[in-house]
Chains A and B, each alone.
Chain A
Amino acid sequence: MQPDDLSRQLTGTLGDRILAVEPFVGTAGRVRFRADGALDVFRAVRDDLRFGHLSMVGAIDWVDHREVFYVVWSDEAKQYALLSTDLPADAAHVETASEIWPSANWHEREAWEMVDITFDHHPDLRHLLMPDGYAFHPLLRSFKLHEPEELEVKSRRV
């Protein structure tokens, strides 16, 4: 499967909910979609394109916006495809994929606690790796591990 095939099959049914289909090394392609049509995109990718296995959901903090990406695999085509959507940093929320692929459940919990992405209608959105009530989102760029240290070197008297 090539990016063109993906694009032809998806844009026919989904129209402008698909923003672009780009080539991506080692996969069938990367589908950029609009966040408000997420559920339709997931359904089309699973049922029409037969990508039955969702491997991973990850999120990236690009400071001015955030990105959520999904990696899916098709046992028929023996190929991966990437789906990705951009979200505004001040209202980062997208529909959960766990209705379509139950495996999304934990991945989305992790993306929520690490990068502060809200997954609407998620069945169980609570902390996974961090303790309950943890107030920070460690994988945001604003969460610094440490400030650069400045060492003062004093000359030693011999």
Chain B
Amino acid sequence: MGPQHPMTHGLWNLRVKIDGEMILDVDPEMGYLHRGIEKISEDRHYNEVITLMDRCCYVAGFSWEHLYILSAEQALQLRPPERAEYLRVLCDEFQRIASHLMWYAAFVQDLGLMSPFLYGMRDRDLVLDLFQSYTGARMTYEYMRVGGVRSDLPLGFTDQARKVLDWLSDRFGEYDQLCMGSTIFRERCDGLGRMTASECVAHGVTGPMLRSAGLKRDLRKDRPYSAYDRLEFDVAVADGADVTARYLVRMEEMRQSVRILRQVVDWLDHHPGPVLADRLPRWLGAPYAPIGNEGYLLKRNYPKGVGFSSVEEPHGEAQAYVVNDGGEHPYRVKFRSPVFANISAARQYLVGYHVADIPPIMGSVDVCVGEVDR
């Protein structure tokens, strides 16, 4: 199945060995979207890698920017101001909602339900409108910077954000009615793609898939980064370990994101301040500034170090490892994509089911090929 198949949501290929309608074995084939982001990063200035991060996962650009920024800051020994931390959480959580809505729309469409698709896309657009109002872009933002964020919010943003949050929190009940209240949905999803918590841990499966098996691991709680330790929220879990449970976990995560965002928006209203570190070395602002009329580059001594960061991306646990050897480009950048690990375990949750079960099961994995292939 693939690379041109409605189930794939991106370019990849699933080789399926079948006996009649039974799945005997599967082998995902990746690499159709490989752009060599890790290699290109070795040739870019630290701030220029952010552009690539947006393209890494095109439905969750902010989460990947945040991931890279955290490890680059650690490698370069910088600290952002507090307001920037809250702005990053704002970006992350709105991004989580946008990504889950995109997933919801695509997933229910795989099952043949058309109206939820339209509702999901409609509500995602409201979030993208917010992104556009302060970054100028709807999908590839280039907003975060090593040492803070690019700019503060425009006037009236928080009121607009509150309106969107109110609208969204009213919609979640409607989504549930459309899906959990639908016999067709339940019959296509219940009991499919089971994977127990211990299997998930062994195969490196993270994110909503892991939490749907009842294991409460969320890096925002277990290993708080940015401002997450100052915010109240619960970790969404379910215990069905099947497709329906993954749906329930993502829906609950969106409700929790709304809860986080309300606190963040209130905080931002009352705490004005700088959004970029003051003592930011000049080379981070202007990497290739010419000196006088001569066009030569400034060679600078960067602090040597390694940065390691890990964030809870909408799909699961994402990691970055940035090695900095004192040059003006990262020496090596390595990313861990949650979907990469989730797809690698495909044999565990597909074998034994029927061919017609592949679209709902793969849909519940929430595949984003951009971050698998990088």
Contact = CB atoms under 8 A, between A and B. Distances in A.
Contact of A101 (B204, B222, B323, B336): B204
Interface stretch (A13-21, A87-95, A127-135): A127-135
Nearest to A104: B204
Contacts of A102: 202-204, 345
Nearest to B336: A56
A100 to B, nearest CB: 9
Interface residues of B, number: 37
Contacts, number: 88
B332 A60 contact: yes
Chain A contact-residue range equals: 20 to 34
Interface stretch (B35-43, B112-120, B354-362): B35-43
Contacts of A71: 308, 319, 321, 336
Interface string A1-38: 00000000000000000000000111100000000000
Nearest to A24: B308
B368 to A, nearest CB: 15
Given A103-B203, A129-B30, A55 B319 contact: yes
Interface in B91-122: none
Contacts of B36: 138
Interface string A112-152: 00100000000000011111000000110001010000000
Interface in B18-42: 30-31, 34, 36, 38-40
B308 A26 contact: yes
Interface in B258-317: 306, 308-310, 317
A78 interface: yes
Interface in B178-226: 201-206, 215, 217, 222-223
Contacts of A64: none
A80 B202 CA distance: 16
A26 B309 contact: yes
A55 B336 contact: yes
Contacts of A56: 319, 321, 334, 336
A58 B43 contact: no
A103 B373 CA distance: 17
Contacts of A128: 30-31
A75 B332 CA distance: 28
Top 4 nearest A-B pairs (CB, nearest first) are A103-B204, A56-B336, A58-B334, A129-B31
